[in-house]
Structure 1
Amino acid sequence: MSHPGPPQQQAYGYPPRQQAYGSPYPPPQQAGFPYAPQQPPYAGWGQRAGAFVLDVLINFGPMWLLVGIGGGIEAGSGESGEVFANIVAWIGILAMIVAVVFQLRREGRTGQTVGKKVLGIRAVRERDGRPLGVGPALGRRLLQFLNNVVFGLGWWWALWDAKSQTFADKMTSVIVLRADAAPK
């Protein structure tokens, strides 16, 4: 009977390639064996907060600017500029709707809004690491109001949560990872 020798080196984070014939389980851990279950590289709270702020500026900034300009035109010109001021304000609202739809579609297909892309993070389904899809991304976006219910506790929850999830993330089974991380 021969001794099998030292365990073969495997790629970091992956289980051994071969199992004993007829054994449904991988061999037990051996001293010096580099395999250890890996935790996904979750995005940090600062990255998530920064991406959120960028996305708010991208989504609502043009609207705030154009509505402000419209208000200034109306205040400075009286009734004669009211129609033009309203047109400028409505263009701002239309720009906001287009930006929100673009961001939602982008997050559903790639896991990244513009803010997430800039900060190097992505939102994926917890079960398989794939992008959310447009419908679940919309559902997550709508559920984010729950993060604000008690003094924004849902947003702060990601600071101490093991998976860095907010309330909306937990309800939709979404995790936010560093973009350079390989899918689960």
Structure 2
Amino acid sequence: MTAVLDTGGATGATATPDQSTPDVALASWPSRAGALVVDVLPGLGVVATCALLALAAPADGAMRWVFTVLLAVTLAAMVLNRVLLPSVIGWTLGRALFGIAVARRTGEPAGLLRLTARELAHVLDTLAVFVGWLWPLWDRRRRTFADLLARTEVRRVPGPERNVRRLVAAVLVGLAVLCAAAAALGYVTSYRHERAVEQANAQIKEQGPRIVEQMLSYGVDTMAQDFAKAQTLTTDGYRPQLVAQQQTVQRAGATTNEYWAVSSAVLPNPPVTPDQASMLLALQGQRGTDPKSLKFITATVRVDFRKIDGQWRVANLTVLKQPQMQPAAGQ
């Protein structure tokens, strides 16, 4: 009796491997995580540093734009590394370091559009409480949610011929230096701005009341000179309004008018900057030349100052409490 052993089924065909089994060339989760750290975290460090420095920089200063441009350039470089570079040469810097690459399920290159869609789909990996990033730990094809949506997978591939470690190290050192330089520049800028604000605050406390006194005071015998002097204490924008008020005073038959500040305070809103400030002043004065008809004056004003060519000038004056005149004692 002869025994017949069935080794190929009825047709004698050989068995084919199960295509659903994980490919041994698939990238491990640690290598993927390491590549992501190299590609993303240093750039995010620069972006976060520049964002904080831009917010802390003076709103009207050039440094805010410098940090904003640096932030935008860093983001653009990260996008180029994660999307354009792998579509051209097959790797990002991080993936080249770990010898892995993104490909379609068929093994073909992913392409620019698919890589872009995959990067955008990583938002789902993050929004799902980072579960998507951990999904490769138990997925048979070691895919994230982004891989599932983009129909991609990450495989182990031969690394580039050039010394990638040296290149990656140079990039990381460069980003670290850039981040440190930006932080140092931001500190110096902030320190100088704070010093300039402190100096402006001290100057306006000292000079503001004197400027207002000179602008509002005039003598009947020196009116032309006093009015001309007052006009030099204002900005170009406010000067026409002051001139109109002076002309009204002249037409009404002016007499000596003298003011002095009895109290003053620098206003916190709007905040003091190196070239602008606002002040609240309580004024007292006297009007007239004849002691028998002399009038005492009280008024409250808000004054906005601007620093032009190193000199503080009145940009606007608002009367909060109209001048109150009282006769001198004994009248």
Length-normalised TM-score, structure 2: 0.39
Q: Partner residue of 1:111?
A: 90
Q: Partner residue of 2:63?
A: 84
Give the whole-Å Cα distance in 1 for the aligned partners of 2:144 and 2:129. Answer: 13
Report percent identity of matched pairs.
Answer: 25
Q: Partner residue of 1:153?
A: 131
Q: Partner residue of 1:28?
A: 14
Task: Confirm or deny: 8 A CA contact 1:41 1:177 kept in the other structure.
Answer: yes
Task: Confirm or deny: 8 A CA contact 1:45 1:158 kept in the other structure.
Answer: yes
Q: Partner residue of 1:8?
A: none
Task: Confirm or deny: 8 A CA contact 1:109 1:132 kept in the other structure.
Answer: no
Q: Secondary structure at the match of 2:137?
A: coil
Deviations 1:122-179 (Å, cap 9, x if unpaired)? 111112x122111110011111111123211111110011110111101111110112
Change (3 A) 1:79 1:133: closer
1:60 shift after superposition: 2.8
- 1:55 and 2:39 correspond: yes
Task: Confirm or deny: 8 A CA contact 1:154 1:166 kept in the other structure.
Answer: yes
> Amino acid of the residue matched to residue 47 of structure 2?
M
After TM superposition, the structure 1 = structure 2 runs for residues 168-179 of structure 1, keeping only pairs within 5 Å, are: 168-179=146-157
Higher relative contact order (CA 8 A, sep 6+): 1
Segment of structure 1 superposing worse, 47-56 or 106-115: 106-115
Change (3 A) 1:167 1:79: closer
Task: Confirm or deny: 8 A CA contact 1:108 1:135 kept in the other structure.
Answer: no
Give the whole-Å Cα distance in 2 for the aligned partners of 1:112 and 1:145. Answer: 21
User: Which of 11, 16, 29 is the matching residue for 1:45?
Assistant: 29
Q: Partner residue of 1:164?
A: 142
Task: Confirm or deny: 8 A CA contact 2:39 2:81 kept in the other structure.
Answer: no
After TM superposition, the structure 1 = structure 2 runs for residues 14-25 of structure 1, keeping only pairs within 5 Å, are: none
After TM superposition, the structure 1 = structure 2 runs for residues 112-151 of structure 1, keeping only pairs within 5 Å, are: 112-127=91-106, 129-151=107-129
Task: Confirm or deny: 8 A CA contact 1:140 1:169 kept in the other structure.
Answer: yes
> Amino acid of the residue matched to residue 118 of structure 2?
R
1:36 shift after superposition: 6.4
Give the whole-Å Cα distance in 2 for the aligned partners of 1:43 and 1:60. Answer: 24
Give the whole-Å Cα distance in 1 for the aligned partners of 2:150 and 2:34. Answer: 21
1:92 shift after superposition: 2.4
Q: Partner residue of 2:72?
A: 93
After superposition, the CA RMSD in angstroms is 2.9
Give the aligned length: 146
Change (3 A) 1:58 1:103: farther
Q: Partner residue of 1:5?
A: none
Give the whole-Å Cα distance in 2 for the aligned partners of 1:45 and 1:62. Answer: 26
Q: Rg: which structure is higher?
A: 2
Give the whole-Å Cα distance in 1 for the aligned partners of 2:78 and 2:144. Answer: 24
Give the unaligned 5+ runs of structure 2.
1-10, 160-331
1:106 shift after superposition: 1.0
